[in-house]
Amino acid sequence: MKFIVSSTVLLKNLHLISGVINPSNTLPILDDFLFELKDKTLLITASDLETTMSVSVPMDMAEESGVVTIPARLLLDTLKTFADVPITMTIDNETLAIEISAGEGKYKLSGHKSDEFPVTPTIEDPTIITINSGVLKNAFNKTLFATGNDELRPVMSGVFCELTPEDVTFVATDAHKLVRYKRTDTKAEQPASFILPKKPLTQLKNIFPDDIEVKIEYDKTNSFFAYENVSLVCRLIDGKYPNYEAVIPKDNPNILTIERSPFINSIKRVALYANQSTNQIRLKISGKELTLSAEDIDYANEAKERLTCNYEGEDMEIGFNSKFLLEMLNNIDNENIKIEMSAPNRAGILLPVDIDNKDEDILMLVMPVMLNQ
């Protein structure tokens, strides 16, 4: 088995899938890339058992088909040191000895048998939908930060995807904060819902090009994403997602409208003086004035800032975790935002004002922190 390929092309394609490989694996074979050469196309695969990702790369020259697994870290570190040069890889199909030639350099390493490498799952009787990569990238960026990390509640560690003939909705929550991202310009023929794990979505959002069609196939167990020369298949999270609509308060008569950037900067400054375990900041809203304050009694730290705002409703005092509030504000792109509230012990709803894209609907919810009077 022998082929010639540009070092830059090979490295670029390996980078697309290398994020799937865990830093420490219980199975040594998962530290490897699987190389399969057929005709003049090289299929490279990485897996962590839950997620399997592949990329196909056309070769400049290829001789003999073959299969081998190659230590990923050593190969990546070697390729990073090359300028854009053609490299020749020769693999002995019997001994699995690998030789890499580049210019005047020769590098030898040992490959491994491919029979222990995980078999890529197949999608049984799949349902297929095509979604623009920009929509998916936006959806994953806006929701992933709100997913949970509680191992006892695995369903909340992923992003809930709900497809209907009217729209597509992505939801993430960790019980303290919730994001619902809806698109009316993307529809499915048949209603369906499933929970996508965090890791493959993080991997995809980092490598998606901006404006191409992504094919998604899914069944009850797995979901498959494919675009250009890249494919990813991941196991869906098993379980029933919480009824997120029931958590969103419907009647919120108190509405605060404020410019996002000054609000973010003010929260950042005031939060420095908050208790480091609760990150609690206090919002006191009266007329057209918002007062942000925080204190840490243990260190006698205290901060207070006033901002002008638009406010409709009764005077109110409410506490929020500044970390959660900042995460949400940083994931809204609009210049102005509004926070809808009903009472100090009920969730606050964050919404962008004047959305440019009428097909996009984003709602963020943050639970309050009880204030010590």
Tell me if 201 sits within 8 A of 144, measured CB to CB.
Answer: yes
CATH of domain 2-116: 3.10.150.10
Using CA of residue 181, residue 185, residue 186, residue 190, what is the dihedral sign?
A: positive
- Here the tokens at position 200 are 């493959």
Whether 171 shows a pLDDT value over 90: the answer reads yes
Percent over 70 (pLDDT), the chain? 99
Whether 130 shows a pLDDT value over 60: the answer reads yes
| Domain edges within the chain | 2-116, 127-244, 248-366
- 127-244 against 248-366: fold identical: yes
DSSP string, 210-252: SS-EEEEEE-SSEEEEEETTEEEEEEPPPSPPP-HHHHS-S--
The pTM score is 0.93
Indicate the pLDDT class of residue 373, thresholds 50, 70 and 90: low
Domain 248-366 has CATH 3.10.150.10: yes
Whether 7 shows a pLDDT value over 70: the answer reads yes
Provide the mean pLDDT of the chain. 95
- For 127-244, the fitting CATH number among 3.50.50.60, 3.30.230.70, 3.10.150.10, 3.20.20.220 is 3.10.150.10
Convert 338-358 to b/e letters by CB count within 10 Å (16 or more is b): bbbbbeeeebbbbbbeeeeee
What average pLDDT score do residues 301-310 get? 96
Residues 38-96 have pLDDT tens digits of 999 999 999 999 999 999 999 989 999 999 999 999 999 999 999 999 999 999 999 99
Percent over 90 (pLDDT), the chain? 93
All residues at 6 or more sequence positions from 151 whose CB lies less than 8 Å from its CB, including other chains: 157
- Residue 136 CA to residue 210 CA, distance in Å, equals 10
H or E, element range at 315: none
